[in-house]
Structure 1
Amino acid sequence: MDTTKTNLHHLFEQLGLDSTPEAIAAFIVHHQMDRHTPLSQAAFWTASQKNFIQEALDADAQWTEVIEQLDTQLRKSGSTPAGR
């Protein structure tokens, strides 16, 4: 059984991103999304990050809950496309 912790800190580490609380908060602020784009298709991900997110969601893996948490946070004020 895999006992890897799955929280935003560890998800950001898994994605190869800065996982400090400040960096996570800044990422969320600067990457707000509209409600129509699937998280795994967001333009700011690399190909490997997109694949990881999509595979985790497809497999309903241990990362699913925290990926969905990130998805929700990235859409809090993202009712219109980014940059508008």
Structure 2
Amino acid sequence: MMLLATQTLATLFAQLGLENDELSIKRFIHQHKIEASVLLFEAPFWNKSQALFLKESIYEDADWAEVIDHLDTMLR
């Protein structure tokens, strides 16, 4: 049986190895912005493993895709 997990910003930040409490997430979003022409995973503030995780999750339309899209919107 496969369980469908609804991912949240907090679980995404934890997956990326970032502090994932509400204040830390708000601070991260406030401090990091992406130009419209830059793909989320190409942003200069990700390390290689974070960028790869984001890229693969988006292209595979993984469980994470919806919350990654939400983060992408918040960073613009």
TM-score by length of 1: 0.85
- Residues in 2 aligned to 1:40 and 1:23: alpha-carbon distance in whole angstroms: 20
User: 1:37 aligned to 2:38?
Assistant: yes
Structure 1, unmatched stretches of 5+, are 76-84
Aligned AA (1:34): E
2:45 alignment partner, SS class: coil
User: 1:8 aligned to 2:9?
Assistant: yes
Structure 2, unmatched stretches of 5+, are none
Aligned to 2:50: 49
Cα distance, 1:2 vs structure 2: 4.2
- Residues in 2 aligned to 1:43 and 1:32: alpha-carbon distance in whole angstroms: 10
Q: Which runs of structure 1 show a deviation greater than 4 angstroms over 4 or more consecutive aligned residues?
A: none
Aligned to 1:68: 69
CA RMSD of aligned residues (A): 0.9
User: 1:26 aligned to 2:27?
Assistant: yes
% of aligned pairs identical? 41
The alignment covers a number of residue pairs equal to 75
TM-score by length of 2: 0.94
